[in-house]
Amino acid sequence: MPPVTEHIVKSYEDELNRLVAMITNLGQEVTSQLQKAIQAIIDHDLKTADRIIKDDPKIDRLEHEIDDFAVRLIALRQPVAADLRHVIVALKISSSLERIADNVGNVAGRFTELKKNSKLEPLKTIPPLMNLIEEMVEGIMTAYITQDDKAAYELWMQDDEVDHLYNSFMRELLTYMMEDPRNISPCIHMLIMGKNIERMGDHITNIAENIHYLVHGTLWSKDILADYKKSKGRIKKKAPRKGK
C-alpha cells in the first residue's frame, strides 16, 4: 500500500510530492489541449486548432522536465519499494500523457486540413468522443493522485466504450465515402482523427496499469481485471450492509 507515513528526510518527501505535482500539471495541460480541440471542432475554429499545434512543444518540455527530475531523484536518493515505484510510474505516466497530447495535436492538424470541409456531418461525432476521453484523462489523473486502483480499473474498462464509438464512427465514414467519392478525402482526414482519439484511450489504459503497479507492486495482467470484476460482484451483493 502507498506510504502514508512521512519520510524522515523532509526534502526527499518534498521531491516525491513535487514529482506528483509535475505529473498533475502535465495532466492539466493535456486536458486543456483536449478541451480546446473539442471547442475548435464545435466552433469550426481553425485558429484555435493551429494554436493547439503550436502549444505542443510546451507539453514536450514538461515531459522532459519530469524525466530529468525523476532521473536525478533516482541518482541522488536511490529510492526503493513504494518510492521507487512512484518514480518509475511517474516516468511512464508522463510519457503516456505526452503521447495523448501528440494525438490531440494530430487531431487538430487533420482538422485544419479539412478547411472548407470542416462542417461535414460526421465531424459531429468527434466532440462527444473526445469529451469521453477528456473525462477519462481527468478521472485517471484523480486515480493517480489518490492512488485509487479501483477507479483505475473502471477507467481501463471504459476504453471499450471508446473502441465501440470509434468503430461506429468508422462505419459512419464508410457510408459517406460510398455515397459520394468527393467525400473520400475529408473522410480520410476524419478517419485519422478518429484513430488518434482511439489511441488516446489506449494510453489511458496504460496509465491505469501503471497505477495498479504503483499501488500493488505487481505487474499488470488480465487476471487483475477478472478478479476485480468478480470482487465487484461480491461487493454489490453485500452493499446493503455498508450503511452501518
- Minimal distance, residue 8 CB to other proteins, in Å: 5
CB 28 within 8 A of CB 13: no
Taking CB under 8 A as the criterion, the residue among 15, 83, 102, 159 binding other proteins is: 83
From the list 46, 53, 74, 82, which residue makes contact with other proteins (rule: CB under 8 A)? 82
Alpha-carbon separation of residue 131 from 31, 32, 195, 236 (angstroms): 10, 12, 15, 29
State which residue, 218 or 243, has the beta carbon closest to other proteins.
218
Q: How far is the CB of 4 from other proteins (least distance, A)?
A: 9
Decide: is 6 part of the binding site for other proteins (CB under 8 A).
Answer: yes
Looking at the chain, the number of H-run helices and the number of E-run strands are 7, 0
How many C-beta neighbours within 10 Å does residue 147 have? 17
Separation CA 242–CA 9 (nearest Å): 39
Smallest distance from the beta carbon of 70 to other proteins, in angstroms?
A: 16
Q: Which of 7, 44, 150, 195 binds other proteins (CB under 8 A)?
A: 7
Tell me the closest approach of the beta carbon of residue 72 to other proteins, in angstroms. 17
178 belongs to the binding site for other proteins (CB under 8 A): no
The C-alpha cell of 166 is what?
A: 470509434
> What is the C-alpha to C-alpha distance for residues 211 and 213, in angstroms, rounded to an integer?
5
Residue ranges that bind other proteins, judged by CB under 8 A: 1, 3, 5-9, 12, 78-85, 216-218
